[in-house]
Structure 1
């Protein structure tokens, strides 16, 4: 588990599998169309808002759609899916220099006569592969697929788009088994910090020329070039989790090119790394409280029980049938995974019962492996690598070990379960990172942009509801349109029929809901 916004991909999967809920109230009355997303002829000039004019070799590209290759760790998409690649500048300050390829996947709109244009998706992470995930989740977006070409992409540095890998599977497994993510001795602290610094060195050694350019702002510039070569006058976009940070960054850089845009499970654009960690500590404890209440257990007593279990596991890891021990770090990762969606809460109950009753950790390990993108053969996806590289390229706020130690009492008060985990991550995540971060936090102000739907869920653990409020305000009056989902989990589309209907009405018919619309799950 990491402090950075994580598992947008899982959130999307969990949301789509959760089933629809009901209940919707609005604030000020119906809104009107304003986003727009009409298809326009490809422009011959550089896309609007780029840092420098792009050469015709880039702006004149036309994707060559072909049968898709099999993605790493996934199944070859069948049916009507086709794949292509678009060249983008490695360095937008030198747009005529070296290029990298951005992998795309597309399912064409089923109703060609009423086609609106392309709808691009980002499922979060950062580091989630849209090429792999969109076909898996596309049934949940079926109504949108009638009038949009559904388009997924691998952001730069991810999977098929020059995906970074910093360590091999054996090195990852060894660190997972030996490094305590909640160090409580000097020796554990030294090992934890050394591993963080070594990870950065490993990334630089294997991907050195790429790392400085794997920022969210550069991915937003890639999005605008992709929009251009796809032939869309405006970017129609659906971002989940980290995808909301990308969407907000795009809107800030290219406000005039914003089409119909939805941000679900929203990152607070005003928060630096410390504030994000504080938010997530609050969010995961809130979700744990809600889970415990659902079982009839007092939240305070239940939290103490879980914290006590983790302390026992720290002293004596849980054995499993696979021969791998579940450390307290893996146990806490598994607990966090189960809080991403209410549909996973029964799995958490079973995992905790197994650990407490039987003293074994198979179910906690299953959840932790799901979170860590480790398959049954011990192979890890590149998502964790990409996530870290992108996050550290973005963030210039890197607390020292001394600062983290000073924060520990506050974080422990917020959450006796997650406080140490998320505070210590601040010290280890970008420790001695080889590249300076771009900014303390992203910019999201987008004056003049079309209305953007900002969907926040009150029980979201990873991107707490307050982030949606901040994003809507930062985007600006008339741009950020807040939709509140009173419910649990990371992401609302697909789990709330009210949210799903509101989003569909906006994306398909341009109907902008009233700012302050509230849905009850």
Structure 2
């Protein structure tokens, strides 16, 4: 299956896999109808009060759920045509402990795009306990995600078939045709199963939703914590509503200046950098280790390895299995064991990691986060690269990474192949003159959103707005892993202490 390397999250000690791959929040009553938007909703565009109902935190959450409340905000399906219908945006909230010193709501987006804030926040809330003293912690499912009219594009059987039969690094005309056909079939499935919503899931629409959420929460300004893709959403919100930007933190920052090829180039650089750092830490060295993995992948392209349950480890699945532990340095030993096992002729270890990455459970059921991710990404990007465009990238991308380059070059063509709706722009608008200070945090070893993107986001937000924090370390996201970053962010969000731009931290 053609699948862009998802920009997943790591929040404090919460691993990306746990945050995104353990299912949706159970027992959450939004106080209104389902996410289709049919029928009266609990909150309207006029900002009427939210109907908060008790809901149950998911298994693995920080508590049984007694302090969590769920609600929904009704928003226009098309902000430019308010009469065209509505959808509901699902929310979850844990109220501030110190009511007398409460600062307002702190809205989170955990990335993806496609991560369910309603599901992730209760699991991640322990990392934000200090912030919860004075903020209501609020998570939401952006439009097209999970309970907010979540996009669905294919069923489990179709996902399993694509995962095992489509070569994501095509070597022949037949493999190329099958690769592109899979991308087109995915888009057609989105249009068939989620047609009413697919054309209206761009980041600009989600940012306008956030402003209606802010109003429904009763906040004069939006206090916001965006992680990974959530940084792009935060930057777009600041661009659209600079006068309503409250205390805002962007961690693991997406490069707002990158087009489709630029994002692929950034991730090729970032994942290879993380792989180099991993092999340097083992003592094998980056060059030797990279060459060993590249040889393994070539062997798998010719002949997949046997794995448990009659399944096979293909080159595509191995790539996903290698990527998964690069998001967190604490997972590097798992990668070592899985690679050694594969070289000895068994694919179980890398396949387990790939299943975590691809949101596949033990019963063969796949989550739909990747469906939302692709739909949102293709709604954002006006570019539709061709197979010839991808081929032109191959020499450069292979030089950057013998492991990830070929796949990420081809993926520029497969990601939005024959997508059923047009994309919005080449790059998002994130300039925000007049907005308050926005903390922009980049980690030097971040594999999915390389450090350089944070510097560019700070520059795009503008002088006096973008406040760059540089974190020397590994992994995707710095809050909760670097005491320096965590203390700096807490000081800003809780006490309004704006650090100097260029502040340096280490994990």
Give the TM-score, by structure 2 length: 0.92
CA separation of 1:482 and 1:114: change in aligned 2, threshold 3 A? same
Q: Residues 82 and 107 of structure 1 are in contact (CA less than 8 Å); yes or no, is this contact kept in structure 2? A: yes
Task: Measure the CA separation in 2 of the matches of 1:235 and 1:75.
Answer: 25
Task: Measure the CA separation in 2 of the matches of 1:16 and 1:330.
Answer: 16
Which of 280, 287, 298 is 1:311 aligned to?
298
1:492 aligns with 2:493: no
Q: Residues 12 and 240 of structure 1 are in contact (CA less than 8 Å); yes or no, is this contact kept in structure 2? A: no
Deviation of 1:472 after TM superposition, in Å, equals 0.2
2:371 aligned residue = 385
Deviation of 1:95 after TM superposition, in Å, equals 1.9
Task: Measure the CA separation in 1 of the matches of 2:13 and 2:323.
Answer: 16
Counterpart secondary structure, 2:118: helix
1:193 aligns with 2:180: yes
Deviation string 1:166-207 (CA, Å, 9 cap, x unpaired) is 111111111111111111122211111111111111111111
CA separation of 1:315 and 1:4: change in aligned 2, threshold 3 A? closer
Which of 428, 443, 448 is 1:462 aligned to?
448
1:44 aligned residue = none
1:394 aligned residue = 380
Give the TM-score, by structure 1 length: 0.90
Task: Measure the CA separation in 2 of the matches of 1:16 and 1:187.
Answer: 34
Q: Residues 2 and 422 of structure 1 are in contact (CA less than 8 Å); yes or no, is this contact kept in structure 2? A: no
Q: Residues 104 and 219 of structure 2 are in contact (CA less than 8 Å); yes or no, is this contact kept in structure 1? A: yes
Q: Which runs of 5+ in 2 are unaligned?
A: 19-42
Which of 224, 234, 252 is 1:237 aligned to?
224
CA separation of 1:15 and 1:325: change in aligned 2, threshold 3 A? closer
CA separation of 1:403 and 1:73: change in aligned 2, threshold 3 A? farther
CA separation of 1:488 and 1:105: change in aligned 2, threshold 3 A? same
2:248 aligned residue = 261
Q: Which moved more, 1:102-111 or 1:185-194?
A: 185-194
Q: Which runs of 5+ in 1 are unaligned?
A: 18-55
1:445 aligned residue = 431
Q: Residues 468 and 502 of structure 2 are in contact (CA less than 8 Å); yes or no, is this contact kept in structure 1? A: yes
1:372 aligned residue = 358
Counterpart secondary structure, 2:82: coil
1:298 aligned residue = 285
Task: Measure the CA separation in 2 of the matches of 1:297 and 1:364.
Answer: 20
Which of 324, 331, 337 is 2:318 aligned to?
331
Task: Measure the CA separation in 2 of the matches of 1:246 and 1:12.
Answer: 24
Deviation of 1:397 after TM superposition, in Å, equals 1.5
Task: Measure the CA separation in 2 of the matches of 1:392 and 1:199.
Answer: 12
1:28-67 pair list within 5 angstroms: 57-67=44-54
Q: Residues 4 and 276 of structure 1 are in contact (CA less than 8 Å); yes or no, is this contact kept in structure 2? A: no
Q: Which moved more, 1:176-185 or 1:146-155?
A: 176-185
Q: Which moved more, 1:493-502 or 1:77-86?
A: 77-86
1:474 aligns with 2:475: no
Q: Residues 6 and 126 of structure 1 are in contact (CA less than 8 Å); yes or no, is this contact kept in structure 2? A: yes
Deviation of 1:8 after TM superposition, in Å, equals 2.5
1:178 aligned residue = 165
